[in-house]
A and B are shown apart, each in its own frame.
Chain A
Amino acid sequence: MANHPAAAAANDESAAVLNADLLQKFAALAGLVALLIVFSLIARNFCTVDNFINICRQTTTIALAGIGVTFVIITGGIDLSIGSVLAMSGVVAGMLVKNWGWNVYASFLVGMLAGVFIGFLNGGMVNFLRLPPFIATLGTMMIARGLALLVTNARSIPGLPETFGDIGNAAAGTTYRIDARGIEVVAFPGIPYAVILMVVLAAAFHYILSCTKLGRYIYAVGSNEEATRLSGINVVKVKFSAYMICGGFAALAGIVTMSRLVTVQPTAGVAFEMDAIASAVIGGTSLMGGMGSISGTIIGAFIIGVLRNGLNMFGVQGFVQQILIGLVIILAVSVDQLRNRKKT
């Protein structure tokens, strides 16, 4: 029995599976690189420092929301309330500053907490009312959006203090030089704070997902919830964590969005959850749960961001962009499906 054929088969299969996993991630990354190369060749202004920083800035909000929703999707759930939470948390922060004269950062914090609270509600409905996540978050999607529109009368909140716009607009490490005419010009536009924040959080939550107990339990719940429960793990707590993390990130994406505009728009972020979910899915997160990674999601977010930016530059109109991004999602998931089919 030393040369058991089943063991040999397993051995072989595992190598194939590992390769396929790498391939999936590599395929997404290779797709991103290919996009960058193609756009650099055909659009003259694409391959510049300014534009890359611009891409990062534009991608940041998708990436932030994508990180959050990756946690939920790995548990086997989904969060449709992200776009509404984005608007609601911005409204909360904006109103605290405008109507009550709160400190900007304190109001940001409360805005975030509002998002975490919606996540708490989602988690509660999924855990205790046993609602399918799709339904629970569909409900909060409408509730949060309605609240945001109600308290603002559907009007935007302009005239916010300058500091409100810092996180979305300011950058670190901006350098200047004197040009030939003796005028000071920007040499390097600097890294936007929001981008730095996104990178730091992505690293931190990658660590949480891949190296901590919470991360392991998130995968376990998505892989087999009942077996996880019978291993003595508090599944309720794990799900609460996932939805609250997702709500928090959605709120943060909202704050960055509103800060960038220095205006609070209660209508912002409609269907934004689809961008977030798409970035996760393109990056290899399985809607069936149990599989996914933050690095994949970040790559997915950048594929969407680069595609939008490059197509814009190339003068492709917005509707056509939508069609192309739709195709990319279908392509990415098809690759995933083909990979799974080969395994069986």
Chain B
Amino acid sequence: MTTLLMVDDVSKSFPGVKALDGVRLELRRGEVHVLLGENGAGKSTLMKILSGVYRPDSGTVFFKGAPITFRDATESLRAGIGIIYQELNLIPHLTVAQNIFIGKEPVRMGFTIDGAKMNRDASEILKRLNADVKPTALVKNLPVSKQQMVEVAKALSYDSDVLIMDEPTSALTASEIEELFKVIRSLRGQGVGIIYISHRLEEIREIADRVTIFRDGQYVSTDAYQDLTLDEIVKRMVGREMENKFPRKKHVPTERVILEVRGLRRRGEAEQASFTLRAGEILGVAGLMGAGRTELARMIFGADRKAGGEILVDGRPVSVSSPLDAIQAGIGYLSEDRKTFGLALNMRLSENITMAYLDEVSTRSGRILKRLEKEATQRFVKSLDIRTPSVSQVVKNLSGGNQQKVVIAKWLFRSARVLIFDEPTRGIDVGAKYAIYELMDGLAAKGAGIIMISSELPEILGMSDRIMVMSQGRIATVMDVAGATQEKILHYAAGLS
């Protein structure tokens, strides 16, 4: 197999941090090369060098044997290096074909866009991907998985030899992931070299040919995937032994019901949801995307209106019609999308932590006691081990795991006793995941009731005491973790029973 891309001893520094320190990577034609590393390992920096956003301080990148000197992303695209970022970069109001050919529209007579040709060419590329997408469909009307296909098509429209995918599955359901993998395998068969970046170790076994691991900006190893074990990979990524992915459970569920939901119903839906959560318990909520897990959580939290049903906290009915009602009843909600729903990114760490309970650090007349606020938030930085230079750090500058801890701190500061974690470890690296698990365990041990919505079954099985499976907007079953298996959960999640 011929070498497509060769990263040779590349270093890149930013003020105060060496983002890449002599890293190597070799991508061959027709292979899927998985690049692994925790946040801060230097994966994104390398991607930005390959796409021409950054120039390396030293070292060279060879593309088909010649050193690259891209000045911007367009040049790297034209040369044949396509990149699909984690956040999709499509224009929602344009059609699929318009998106694929943006910036290189086929023209007639030098100035009018040849729409027919564009649609033809687009459908050809989409056919190559086996993607069931109409070139004339508006992108905003497509589900995320199809949008991702459009991104792939867009990258391929440059006749790319190299395709770089950054966490492409983070928004996809299991079946959509399978579809994407089919596309990846078929591209591999066509001789495209693919660099695949992911946090989800479970899924890479489906496609990985070789694996390169970075840690703290340094190259660790490259191996054929079959020569590695999962434990070995994790060890190399984290730089230490990780015997268990989940902490040994310290918490013991009590018999006291802390939250009871009776007949909760969404507007326009007939399905009613009823379940109980006990103090000191972690209730895992599994299900496919679109099963209504987040919708249920948002209703309990008062973020969305409910059409009917009752919520009882500590046996007392509470009327929840806004987040404030839920918060005052002791419920906290950590959204799956913390950047949109959880954090004010441009504000300080301390300001984010106190946001839901400013009364605690202000006078009756509304003056904020800033020293008190600082002291209170410093306590959380310490107890949750939030890595930050100070509490006045702007949250935007923290890593994903630390941002998640800030949201947790917000609800702990409010003394929430019922915590709803929606995909608590999404986009968080392995080491930080463990810390979040420990935190959840510790909270339950102190008597909190935790609802954990997760799409990662090992996480559900590893952390929960009971598992609630949702399917098509209703609760399919609630089972004890003892005796639960991935197969059993998937069985209910798929709507079989």
Which A residues contact B (CB, under 8 angstroms)? 1, 4-17, 211-214, 216-217, 219-220, 223-224, 226-234, 290-291
* Number of cross-chain contacts by CB at 8 Å: 123
B56 interfacial by beta-carbon distance below 8 Å = no
In the complex, residue of chain A having the shortest beta-carbon distance to the beta carbon of B355 = A231
Are B341 and A223 touching (Cβ within 8 A)? no
Chain A residue numbers with a CB within 8 Å of B392 are: 14
Contact call A223/B301, Cβ cutoff below 8 A: no
CB of B410 within 8 A of chain A? yes
Pick the contact of A12: B17, B345, B356, B398 (CB < 8 A). B17
Jot down 20 A-B pairs with beta carbons below 8 A, ordered by A. A5-B217, A6-B40, A7-B399, A9-B40, A10-B398, A13-B397, A14-B392, A14-B397, A211-B370, A214-B366, A220-B351, A223-B345, A224-B345, A227-B355, A230-B323, A231-B355, A232-B322, A232-B323, A234-B324, A290-B347
Return the chain B residue nearest A286 by Cβ. Answer: B346
4 A-B pairs with least C-beta separation: A12-B16, A6-B40, A223-B344, A232-B324
Q: With contacts A17-B397, A224-B343 known, what are 8 further pairs, Cβ within 8 A?
A: A10-B397, A220-B355, A223-B346, A228-B355, A229-B323, A230-B303, A230-B341, A290-B344
In the complex, B388 has a CB within 8 A of chain A:
yes
Chain B 159-178 interface 0/1 with A at a Cβ cutoff of 8 Å (1 = within) = 00000000000000000000
Inter-chain CA distance A224–B392, complex, in Å, is 18
Tell me if B394 is interfacial: C-beta within 8 Å of chain A.
yes
Chain A positions within 8 Å of B342 at CB level? 227, 230
Chain A residue, CB-CB nearest to B238: A1
Q: How far is the CA of A105 from the CA of B310 in the complex (A)?
A: 54
Interface pair A233/B17, CB less than 8 Å apart: no
**B367 contacts A11, C-beta separation under 8 Å:** no
Asked if B358 and A213 sit within 8 Å, CB to CB, the answer is yes
B15: Cβ under 8 A from any A Cβ: yes
Q: How far is the CB of A223 from chain B (nearest CB, A)?
A: 4
- The CA-CA distance from A211 to B346 in the complex, in Å, is 18
How far does the Cβ of B212 sit from chain A's closest Cβ, in whole Å?
Answer: 18
**Does B328 sit within 8 A of A, measured CB to CB?**
yes
In the complex with contacts A6-B39, A227-B344, A230-B342, A14-B324 CB distance below 8 A: no
Q: Is B216 positioned at the interface, with any CB of A under 8 Å from its CB?
A: yes
A-chain residues with CB within 8 Å of residue B335 when the two chains form the complex: 230
Find chain B residues with CB under 8 A from A226 CB.
340-341
Is B250's beta carbon under 8 Å from chain A?
A: no
Does B140 count as interface, using CB distance less than 8 angstroms? Answer: no
A6 and B387 within 8 A (CB): yes
Does B327 contact A14, Cβ atoms closer than 8 Å?
no
Q: Is the C-beta of B389 less than 8 angstroms from some C-beta in chain A?
A: yes
Residue of A nearest to B218 (CB): A5
Chain B nearest CB from A323 CB (Å) reads 33
